[in-house]
Amino acid sequence: MTSHAAPRVSQIKCGDFAAAAESLSSDPWTMQQAWLAMPDENLHPAKVRFGWEPDALWVFADLPDDFITSHSTDHNQDMWTLGDVFEIFIARKDSPFYLELHVTPHNHRLHLHWSPEGMEKIQANQTTLDEFRRPPSAFDSWVQKPEGERKWQVLVRIPASILPNGQTLEAGQILELSFSRYDAGPEGTPDVLSSTSPHRELSYHRRHEWREVVLKNG
């Protein structure tokens, strides 16, 4: 697992995309398709930046998109089946639990709290996703679609208190992070999937392929 640094940022005003873009100015992570020998011709690589403050992790995603669409109508739906969605996977290093957070172009959110055996239980039909759903109001998100541009942007504030096994963030702490998306097209066309992690197989839950992030001051 490759280690990267996450800068500490000044407090960002909720929903202020311009301030977020200025504060979260480190080199972005770019989404790819490492499970394919050649990327899909319809891939539009999204770029993601992030930074931290003691109370929260901030994430800013820039998602090029020729056909912005989602059939989501409320929070905590199965967003990946409904069209475009931006996804965040996050855990504290050495914690067996992790979060999966989704945001759609309508700013509908999905919040999942996974146990180590959770995905295996789902795949074995031993439980349903409802076991892992948590209140979508636990984290904040904002969405904008810049006029005249074929893209949508997402700003997310993840309170440190909802990350398993801890209440705050501090310099020196290590997180494990991955960002992904489903880029949906017109009806009848397949979704284009991509991730910032070098997944050798198409599964965003392959946690050993996520990236380690060391929280740094400045």
What residues of the chain score a pLDDT lower than 50? none
Q: Which residues contact 117 (CB under 8 A, 6 or more apart)?
A: none
C-beta neighbour count of 7 within 10 angstroms: 16
Burial class (CB in 10 A: 0-12, 13-18, 19+), 109: buried
pLDDT at 10: 82
Domains of the chain: 3-216 (2.60.40.1190)
Pairing of strands 47-53, 56-64: antiparallel
pLDDT at 116: 93
pLDDT at 166: 87
pLDDT at 2: 62
